[in-house]
Structures are given as structure tokens and as C-alpha cells.
Structure 1
């Protein structure tokens, strides 16, 4: 990842240069942040798996720490913003599921023995985060709200693919991992096409999506390189690098859609 991309990711994900407390600005911003919680649920699991596989440990540790801190912060913001009791209830439930997830992520040193429980809890957190995002989109009732949700889901899929790529490499539920990789691939490609052809897509958004398509080729190749019986350290490292590069672009796309009036 080059310096521009790293800066964009850090700023876009809210990791640097922002105050410790940032209110949700409007419904599009809420959908963006709610969707980012989905991504963080998968990114944290990816980092855990990378640590268990001893892949880029310094980078994985940083990603895990940043992801957990950002999830915590956004959860507070989304609970405070919740425009209805039903949506607030979703975030109360998410808070409980997240608490259980954090214990599994950092309660013990990351290991392949603990990976199955981490993956299972990442799914529970993802389901509630997705529920909240959908509720906020419905509250918006605007076509752009659906696109912010969809673009944000692309971020999640990039990290989900990496998570299951590492699960397969670690011989964790290999059959299920390959099934999830196949489903996520199909959904990701369909999502890119929808975003690219949406009437609301500006020239800037289309430019970023084209860049995303290029990054996807590198990421997809990295995933394919881990499907062997014993993936190399280089192959596993490439999954980390390319998944982060793709996330940078997808986060930019989501932010651009969220900024549309």
C-alpha cells in the first residue's frame, strides 16, 4: 500500500486526525458508519486469523487494535443517534454481542484453536450490524441510502473474503470456508456492477470503482493462491496487503455515495 492509500484509509476509517468524539451527521452518515461496523466485524476476525497464522503479525496486531477501537467509538455514536426505539434495541443487542466478541478476540493469544469461536462470533456481530444498517436505510427511504448500504457492504465482503481465505489456510471448516468464499465473490462482483451502473454514480465515483476493479484482480489472485494444501507465507501476506488496498478504495466509494445530497 502506498503512502496516499495508507493516509486515505486511516482518515477514511476514522483512525487518525479526528476528534475522539464525532457525532453522526445525518442518515447517510449513519448508514455509512453502521455499514462500517459490518466491515470491522470481519476485519477484526481477519486480523485474528493472520496472527494465528503468524502472517504480518505487526500489521495484523495494529489492524485488530484499530478495528476494535473504531467499532467501540461508532457503536456509541450509533446508539446515541438511533432514530427509533427499534433501532436502538438493535444496537443494545449489538453491544452485548460485541462484548462477547472482544473477549474472544483478546481474551487469549490468537491461535488456530480459538479461531472457530472467533469466526462464529464474528458472524453474530455481523448479523446484528447488518440489521442495524438495513433499519437505517429503511428510515432514510431514499435511493442513495440503498447505495450507501450496498457500497458499505462491499467493504465488508472484502474483509469477509480475507477472513475465510485465512480460515481455509488454517484448516478451519475448510468446506464451509470455500462455500463462503464462493458466495462472497459472486455477491461482490454483482455489487460492483450495480454501483457502477447506478444513475447516481458520479464521474468521481465511477473512477474510484474502476480503481476498485483493478484492486479486485490483485486480491482475487491472492485468494486463489491460498487454496493449496500448504499456502506459502508470501501468499498469506498477499491476502493481507491486497485486502487492505481494496478496502481503501471501497471506503472512498462509500463515503462518496454518503456525501450525495
Structure 2
């Protein structure tokens, strides 16, 4: 199947993913890792879309994206709660759920600029605890390659992390930690992409999609570069979301490949 058709199908799938209830039973560790890993991305997407609303960037669309991200996080919690396989998983899932509540409260309320940094700080906690959940689930498997689901899934988060950091800066927030997180995210994405490319389990389809991810990442980096202090948040948002779509599809490919 041509890559452009695959990406088109992925876009349609992702729109459905964030617009309708997709509650489903989790049957494999790789699927659980994918779902838990998606929570990392959603924590960053909530911040990005909240800031987009504050910046009045495609307000109606951004509001819908924010609400769908919140809904998807809640659905993933329900699915993971049904899957929970041992006490360690159960305990960490509760920690994630507790960390999520204050994020959800701010995100559902009217957007206020003075709440943006608080939201970001709370989302960082959700990100950290969600990552711990992924690691716990990954340790359940004896398959070394299962880490690919984690690594590919984390790239989704980094796409939205870069977007959220750019949106914060566009909205007038300037902190040293944002600048360092921004640089670190770019470096981490590059390193992880190289690691994924080196995997011996990659199918021809995955290899092709990784090439597309590399190309889109280069486009995102170009969009992120400021010229004369002028911000282009809409272009960054669109570029980051395209990268998210590609990495989400790659993550699903690894999930299915390593489900056995």
C-alpha cells in the first residue's frame, strides 16, 4: 500500500480515535503499553490545545481537540483498569488517575492565561507517572523487543511536548526550564528515531513509515525555528500533529507485531 494512502488512512483513524468512544478490552501486554504510553502524549496534548485556545488558534477546532484528549485519557484509564494484571500495576494506575484529576479540572474550565503554567506543571506529573506505568508493564514481558512499543509511543508524546512548549512561549511564557526541555525533546526524538531505525524486527512498511517520520520531524524542526522573534504557532501545531499521526501508526504496527 502506498505510504500516502497509509497516512491518509491513519489520519481518518486518528480522527475517529479522538471523536467517538473507543472503549475496548486490552488483551496483550503490547496493547497495554501502547495505551499507557498514549497517556503520556495526552498529558502534553492537553497543554498544547489549552494554549492554542488561549492564543485563539482555530478556537473551535482547538476546543474540540482539547475535549477529545480529555475524553480519551479517561477511556484509557477505564481500559487499563480492566486490564490491571498485578498489585504493582493497580497501584501505579491509581497514582496516574489521582494525578490526572487536577489537570482535568483546569482543562475543562474556561481558559485563563494565569492557569497555563499550573496546568503545565500538573501535566508534567501525569507524564512522569504515566511513564512509570509503561515501564512497569514493559517489565512484565520477557520479550526484549517489546520496548519498541514504548519507544515509538514516547515519540508521540515528544511531538506534542514540542508543540506545547512552543505554544507556551508564543503566549508569552519564558522560563529557562522550557528552553532546556525544548532542546532535550528535540535531542531525545532524534536519538529514539535512530534506535527505532536500527531494529531488526522492522517490516518494510515500518521502515517506510520511519522514513516519513524522519522527514516530518525535519519539517517540524524547521517550523520551530523563530525568525526575528516572530512565532508561527498554527504552522507548528499542524506540523506536530502530522508527526503525531505518523508515530501513532508506527506504534500500533509495533504493538501488533509484538503481540504474540
Q: Which moved more, 1:49-58 or 1:6-15?
A: 6-15
Q: Could you say which residue in structure 2 is the equivalent of 1:216?
A: 217
Which one of 240, 245, 248 corresponds to residue 248 of structure 1? 245
**Which secondary structure state, in structure 2, belongs to the residue aligned with residue 259 of structure 1?**
helix
Q: Is the 8 A contact 2:38 2:157 kept in 1?
A: yes
Q: Could you say which residue in structure 2 is the equivalent of 1:203?
A: 204
Establish whether residue 89 from structure 1 lines up as the match of residue 91 from structure 2.
Answer: yes
Establish whether residue 179 from structure 1 lines up as the match of residue 164 from structure 2.
Answer: no
Q: Is the 8 A contact 2:18 2:72 kept in 1?
A: no
Give the CA deviation at 1:196.
0.7
Which one of 50, 55, 65 corresponds to residue 52 of structure 2? 50
Give the CA deviation at 1:174.
3.0
CA distance in 1, matches of 2:21, 2:181: 37
**Which secondary structure state, in structure 2, belongs to the residue aligned with residue 25 of structure 1?**
coil
Q: Is the 8 A contact 2:44 2:161 kept in 1?
A: yes
Tell me the TM-score normalised to structure 2 length: 0.92
Give the CA deviation at 1:4.
7.0
Give the CA deviation at 1:5.
4.4
Q: Could you say which residue in structure 1 is the equivalent of 2:67?
A: 65
After superposition, give the CA deviation of every residue in 1:15-47 in whole Å (9 maximum; x if it has no partner).
Answer: 269764300121000001111111111111110
User: Against the structure 1 CA distance between its residues 104 and 19, is the aligned structure 2 distance closer, same or farther, given a 3 Å change threshold?
Assistant: closer
Runs of 5+ consecutive residues of structure 2 not aligned to the other structure: none
Runs of 5+ consecutive residues of structure 1 not aligned to the other structure: none
Q: Is the 8 A contact 1:43 1:67 kept in 2?
A: yes
After superposition, give the CA deviation of every residue in 1:184-228 in whole Å (9 maximum; x if it has no partner).
Answer: 000000000000111111111110000011111111111113x75
User: Against the structure 1 CA distance between its residues 175 and 101, is the aligned structure 2 distance closer, same or farther, given a 3 Å change threshold?
Assistant: same
Give the CA deviation at 1:74.
0.6
Q: Could you say which residue in structure 2 is the equivalent of 1:150?
A: 151
After superposition, give the CA deviation of every residue in 1:108-160 in whole Å (9 maximum; x if it has no partner).
Answer: x2232111111001101111110101100001131221010000000000000
Q: Could you say which residue in structure 1 is the equivalent of 2:233?
A: 236
Stretches (4+) displaced over 4 A: 2-7, 16-20
Q: Is the 8 A contact 2:19 2:68 kept in 1?
A: no
User: Against the structure 1 CA distance between its residues 65 and 228, is the aligned structure 2 distance closer, same or farther, given a 3 Å change threshold?
Assistant: farther
**Which secondary structure state, in structure 1, belongs to the residue aligned with residue 17 of structure 2?**
coil
Q: Is the 8 A contact 2:27 2:83 kept in 1?
A: no
Q: Could you say which residue in structure 1 is the equivalent of 2:32?
A: 30
User: Against the structure 1 CA distance between its residues 66 and 17, is the aligned structure 2 distance closer, same or farther, given a 3 Å change threshold?
Assistant: closer
Which one of 240, 254, 258 corresponds to residue 257 of structure 1? 254
Q: Is the 8 A contact 1:167 1:174 kept in 2?
A: no
The number of aligned residues is 255
CA RMSD, 1 decimal: 2.0
CA distance in 2, matches of 1:223, 1:253: 23
